[in-house]
Chains A and B, each alone.
Chain A
């Protein structure tokens, strides 16, 4: 049972435009959400997070939006840069534990 879903396996965006990556979850106990970025041959690196008490968190070019009623979150990257080309994972956890439940990932390609 996939509790965190990323329904778009891949996304291609032109440099300078906005990239929007989506994530849906089914477990209503999740109350903390994270995005990780992964380059080939490297481990995932933390990008940005959001608590369920917020609906938006911004860090530079990266903004995460959370819609609790729809159990949906999205990551916006503006403007997109070629170095953003990577696989992006949405992850969630619940309570005080740090165990992460990941989605299947979306491969973002930023073209020139």
Chain B
């Protein structure tokens, strides 16, 4: 059984650019959540997708958007990048969106904005 994978591993962008990060969920999981972990901080919830629909959003501006595909893989898009967007972006998949279902995290994508 393949775990949660994320691509790319590392990425360097400049201010104002746009970026797309990708996440493949664990087999059989229909829910993907995205988190941002800034240096020295804990992960912060960005949003969650359940069966291709957004199912909850954290305190992030609209330039953070996402998609979930029929195979339940997901993308996180960030427009108009700012320096403060530099962080580790984690995705987590779970069997369903219920809170009792364990969330399995990928290794993350390290984004640096210059």
Contact = CB atoms under 8 A, between A and B. Distances in A.
A104 B41 CA distance: 5
A44 B108 CA distance: 10
A43 B98 contact: no
B42 A42 contact: no
B99 A89 contact: no
Residue from B31, B45, B108 having most chain A Cβ neighbours under 10 A: B45
A8 to B, nearest CB: 14
B40 interface: yes
Interface stretch (B14-22, B66-74, B89-97): B89-97
B41 A97 contact: no
Contacts, number: 61
Interface residues of A, number: 24
Contacts of B40: 104
Interface string B93-110: 010011101111111100
B99 A102 contact: no
A14 interface: no
Contacts of A42: 107
B33 interface: yes
Given A32-B99, A41-B107, A98 B42 contact: no
Interface of B: 4, 31, 33, 35, 40-45, 48, 56, 58, 90, 92, 94, 97-99, 101-108
Given A41-B107, A89-B42, A104-B42, 4 more contacts: A43-B90, A46-B103, A102-B43, A104-B40
20 contacts: A41-B107, A43-B92, A43-B108, A45-B105, A46-B102, A46-B104, A91-B42, A93-B99, A95-B99, A97-B56, A98-B33, A98-B99, A98-B101, A98-B103, A99-B45, A99-B48, A100-B35, A101-B45, A102-B35, A102-B44
Interface of A: 4, 6, 32, 36, 41-46, 89, 91, 93, 95-105
